[in-house]
Structures are given as C-alpha cells and as structure tokens.
Amino acid sequence: MREAAWPLIRADLDLSYAQVGVLLGAPRVVSGLIEPLLGILGDTRRRRALILGGGITFALSLAVTGLGRTYGALLFSFILFHPASGAFVSLSQASLMDSAPEDRERNMARWTFAGSLGVVAGPIALGLATAVSLGWRSLYLVAASLAVLLVVAARASDSLRGPSGEGQNGAPTAYSGLAGAVRVLKRGEVLRWLALLQFSDLMLDVLLGFLALYLVDVGHVSSAQAAVAVAAWSGAGLVGDYLIIHLLRIVDSLTYLRISAAAELVLFAGFLLVPSFVLRGVVLALLGLMNAGWYSILKARLYGAMPGQSGTAMAVSNLAGLVGAAVTLGLGWVAQRAGLGATMWVLTAGPLALLVGLPAGERRGAQPTP
C-alpha cells in the first residue's frame, strides 16, 4: 500500500527524492541495529512475548502513520514499524521454518504467496480509497485496526515458541545466542545466502519502493496509472508466488533461480528502454512473474544452513540488511543528483549477482550442509 501511495505521500508532505530515500533507508538502518537482538532473543523462551509485543507496536506504528501530519512524524512511524515487523512478522516466519525443516523451501513459498496477497490488495485498496476521496491516511488506520485483530489471533496460538520450547531447562540464553551468531557469520555458506538475499532485494522491495515514482517522474504517467502499473507488477508476482509452490516439486530450485535471473536481466533492460506505457506494463508484469521464488528459495537456503537457529538466522539477515539500507539511502542520493532514470540501471546488479554467486547445482530436494 505504501509503495503505491508514494506519489500521494510525497505531494501531501512536499518531499524531495532525498527525503524519500531517508524514509526508505533510515528505518532499515535502525531496524538493522535492533532486529538482530530480537532474533537472538527469539531463539530463547521469550519468542512468544516478543511476537505479541511486536504486534502491538506494529499496530501503533500504522496508526501514527495515518494520523501524522509532518515529515518527522512519518519518519518516526516508519522507524517504529520496521523493528515491530521484525518481532511480529519475522519471528512468526522463524516459527514456521521450525515447524517442518524438511520442507523449508515450499513453506517459504507459501509464506511469500500469503504476503503477495497483501501486496496486491494494497494498491487496489488505495485505488478504491482514492476513487471515493478517502485518501491514503484512512487506509493506514484501517490497517492498524486489522493488525490489532492479528495480535488477538496470535495470542490464541500455541505454536509461536522458540526451537527449544518455552520454559524448558537448557533453552538457549541471549549470551549463547550472540556467540552462535558470531560463529555463523564466519561461515562462507551463510555469507553467500546473506549476500544473495541483499542483491536479490534490488529487484524486489527496492524496485517496488521507487517504481511508482519512476513511472510518474520519468515515464510521465499519472499517479492513477502508476498505481495500476504497480498493481500489475504485484498481481503477476502473486501468480508467480502461487505457481512456484508447485514448481518446486519438480524443478531444482537453483536451476530455476539461474534461469529466472537471466530472464529478469533482459526484461528489466526492456522495461527501462521501451517508451510505451502499455508495453512497459506488459514487461513489468513479466518482471513480477519471473522474480517469484527469489526471496523464498534464498531465505530457505539460509535457514537450511543454520538448523536449530531460526531466530539467529533472522538476526544475521538484519545485520546484512544494514548494507541493503545503505544502498537504498545511496540510491536516493544518486537519484537526487543524476536523475531517477539513470539510477534505476543500478538495480540490474540484482540478477547479475544471482547469475555469478549461486553455487553449482545440487540434486533436487537436497538441503545445504551446515
């Protein structure tokens, strides 16, 4: 919802590209400092309390975004949102990975598909709200109300526990978890998946963050047309996220990543070069379809390289996310000076990194050896 609303948010608060870059990057920097600790604590008996507390803060941050009227209030709410999402959402993901270690890739694909439903619903909701003159702020207040309902549902669940079980003697401590995180950061296998996750994000969340602004400022389309294009990208991604659940039954995941990365590289160049809005929309939909499975496969491989340390996997992911946040801040700075059109070419580093950095193919279904 936020990504599709960027042109409206920018106009409402009169934001510059540099300020948008700060709004996108600064919360990730702060989150990268806080969430590693949350992940390490998530491997202890405190996981359930962290998830519920994160959910309450999650709802609060959405409400502040909807009610805030200044750039400072928006920055505060975004900074609050990211670690809250880490506690509420990411630790729930860790619990899912612990529930069936032998089926991590397909469970991550299911998780991503569920998230894609929200990605598609956001621009649609924004379009409907705009059509009836409700505005983007009202949607944030609705989302805050829905988040409260999710916290109530999470409180009723008995599955949101650390890998050693709440209250058991011998459950990992924060100190042992920190020591374990330091050890895993010395392993090449873990570093590979962390790096590839960050590079792949250039064609996922980073692209989504700049997409509507690019279409309005460089493609010279209206905010409504940009919202439609974002919806097309998201809708195609939703289809791809559904198909990848079944595709992973029969196709080696690493082979799929290589083929899709090559296709994404060609398609993205075409998206930047074609002048027609209609053609760009078609190519954009294909882009959304072909990057399906990137996050789910790479994240599942990271969890597979760290068995029994799902919370720590979240922690090291967020440490690596500091690099991604710095890149996002840098992209906002570059766009302010060199133009957004030229800056978008930097995102091709995402598929290029996958083509270069993926390991040799494995037997289908094999899990990385820790």
* pLDDT at residue number 252: 92
Give the model confidence (pLDDT) of 128-174 as tens digits. 988 888 888 999 999 999 999 999 998 887 766 655 544 344 456 66
What integer pLDDT is reported at residue 369 of this predicted model?
A: 42
Q: Encoding tokens for residue 315? A: 């922690």
- Lookup: tokens for 130: 């705009």
CB 233 within 8 A of CB 211: yes
> For residues 59 and 67, what is the distance between their CA atoms, to the nearest angstrom?
13
Q: What are the φ and ψ backbone dihedral angles of 27, each rounded to 5 degrees?
A: -60, -35
Q: Hey, what are 213's tokens? A: 């602004």
Contact 331, 346 (CB under 8 A): yes
SS (H, E, C) the chain: CHHHHHHHHHHHHCCCHHHHHHHHHHHHHHHHHHHHHHHHHHCCCCHHHHHHHHHHHHHHHHHHHHHCCCHHHHHHHHHHHHHHHHHHHHHHHHHHHHHCHHHHHHHHHHHHHHHHHHHHHHHHHHHHHHHCCCCHHHHHHHHHHHHHHHHHHHHCCCCCCCCCCCCCCCCCCHHHHHHHHHHHCCCHHHHHHHHHHHHHHHHCHHHHHHHHHHHHHCCCCCHHHHHHHHHHHHHHHHHHHHHHHHHCCCCCHHHHHHHHHHHHHHHHHHHHHCCCHHHHHHHHHHHHHHCCCHHHHHHHHHHHHCCCCHHHHHHHHHHHHHHHHHHHHHHHHHHHHHCHHHHHHHHHHHHHHHHHHCCCCCCCCCCCCC
Residues above pLDDT 70, as percent of the chain? 91
Residues of the chain with pLDDT > 90, as a percent, come to 39
Please compute Rg for the chain using Cα positions: 20
Indicate if the pLDDT at residue 36 is higher than 60: yes
Question: What gap in Å lies between CA 95 and CA 81, rounded to an integer?
Answer: 21
User: Which domains does the chain possess?
Assistant: 2-156+180-356 (1.20.1250.20)
pLDDT tens, 276-313? 888 988 999 999 999 999 999 999 999 988 887 888 88
